[in-house]
Structure 1
Amino acid sequence: MIDTHAHLDMLRSEEDLKESVEKLDCIITIGCDKEEIFKAVDIANRYSNVYASVGYHPYDVKGLTDRDIDILEKLAEENKKVVAIGETGLDYYRDITPKKLQWEFFEKQLQLAKKLNLPVIIHSRSANEDTVKILQQHAPFPASGILHCFGGDIPMMEKCVELGFYISFAGNITYPKADSLRAVLKETPLDKLLLETDSPFLSPQKKRGKPNKPSYIFYTLEFASSLLGLTPQELEEITDKNASRLFSIPVRKTVV
């Protein structure tokens, strides 16, 4: 099983990290601020089945300059384990970063992803209309990308799929009040579907209240497969194949 989005540097312990690496076939660990990008690359270089994405979260773009974009570019060019740019995007849920600044560095990271021919991992919260608008302005994206921890509606999903993006769902699809997300999941084309944990955030319902970790992705897999009328094995094969294709990574099957 592939977890396409985790923050491994934020896990509670080294034991949780080792357990995650041992139980999953592959994990994409995300660095999304000036310190975490280096931590993500370091962890990816320590484990054969871990890869990294580097970028700046919209809450962390204050004080950034073009030099920080150059740092991302250098990290990606000098480390083969870097397979994507992001997470980057827009987040209007909290008034932490001016929208103008979010837009500026979202666009710069989109341009960098295209320059490097790497997928881009998109964060969008309470900003779906503007997110789609910017993506449409910068299309096409030859290396594609992900709308991670998708929180939009069916029309947004359809627009993003039309642009070539993959749609990734996290443990919050298991929450009792997440009917709208489950409706989107059911309509998402299987060849554009991915699963993630976003650990240590968004633990699935059966582990809610505890810090999330990549090994909990199997709860989300079981829930989603039942919703789609598939076996967990069938859905795992579908999402793993999608992730492998998107990130151009091999998949080794782990026996747990």
Structure 2
Amino acid sequence: MIDTHAHLDMLKSEEDVLESIEKLDYIITIGCDREEILKAVKLAERFENVYASIGFHPYDVNDIDDRDLDNLRNLAIENRKVVAIGETGLDFYRDITPPDKQKYFFERQIQISKELELPLVIHSRSADKKTIEILEKYYPYPASGVMHCFGGSIDMMRASVEMGFYISFAGNVTYPKADNLREVLKNTPLTRLLLETDSPFLAPQKKRGKPNKPSYIYYTLDYVSSLLGIDKDRLENIIDQNAKKLFKIEKYENLTVDKILD
């Protein structure tokens, strides 16, 4: 199983990190600010089955400038275990970062992902219309991307799929009040479906109230399998193949970390 979005550096203990590494085939760990970006890359260097996606979260763009984007670009070029740009995007749920600043840095990171031909990991909260508007401005996306921890409408899902993006669902799809999210999930094409934990956030219902970790993705897989009426092993295979295709991680199989970093 592949967890396509986790913040390994935020897990509560080294034991949780090691357990996750052991129980999953691959993990994409995410760096969202200056410090976390470096931590994500170091974790990818440390563990053979961990890869990194690096970018600036919309809440973390207040104190960055174009030099930070240059550093981001260079790091992605220099390290082949960086497989995506992001998470980046828009978040209008809380008044933390000015919308204009969010839009500027979102667009700049889109440009970096397109230049480097790396997929884009997109965060969008309470910003469906503007997110799609910006993405359509830069269409097409040869390297594709993913709408991480999807929480938008069916219309947003369909517009994203139309542009070639994958749709990733996290543990909150298992919550009792998530009927709208489950309706979107049931309408998402299997060829565009991904699962994630967003660890240490959004633990699935059976572990709700506890810090999330990548190994909990199996609870979400069980739930989605039942919801869609698809055999669990078959669904896992579909999701894993989608993830490998998006992040192109199968090309690194059977390579040691030393070889990858040569």
| TM-score higher than 0.5 | yes
What residue is the counterpart of 1:247 in the other structure? 247
Does residue 170 in structure 1 map to residue 170 in structure 2? yes
Cα distance between partner residues in 1 of 2:238 and 2:225: 11
What residue is the counterpart of 2:84 in the other structure? 84
| Segment of structure 1 superposing worse, 65-74 or 200-209 | 65-74
Letter in 1 for 2:128: N
Letter in 1 for 2:228: L
The within-5 A match list for 1:47-86 is 47-86=47-86
The within-5 A match list for 1:1-256 is 1-250=1-250
Q: Deviations over 1:99-156 (max 9, x none)?
A: 0000000000000000000000000001111101100111111100000000011111
Cα distance between partner residues in 2 of 1:75 and 1:206: 38
**Deviating 4+ runs (over 4 angstroms):** none
How many angstroms does 1:232 deviate by?
A: 1.2
Letter in 1 for 2:76: A
SS of 1:97 mapped into structure 2: coil
How many angstroms does 1:64 deviate by?
A: 1.2
Cα distance between partner residues in 1 of 2:45 and 2:162: 34
Letter in 2 for 1:43: L
Q: Structure 1 vs Structure 2: percent identity of aligned residues?
A: 68
Cα distance between partner residues in 2 of 1:246 and 1:183: 24
SS of 2:34 mapped into structure 1: coil
Structure 2 unmatched runs, 5+: 254-262
Letter in 2 for 1:161: V
Structure 1 unmatched runs, 5+: none
Figure out how many residues of one structure are paired with residues of the other and give that number. Answer: 252
How many angstroms does 1:31 deviate by?
A: 0.1
Cα distance between partner residues in 2 of 1:126 and 1:156: 12
Cα distance between partner residues in 2 of 1:61 and 1:85: 15
How many angstroms does 1:20 deviate by?
A: 0.3
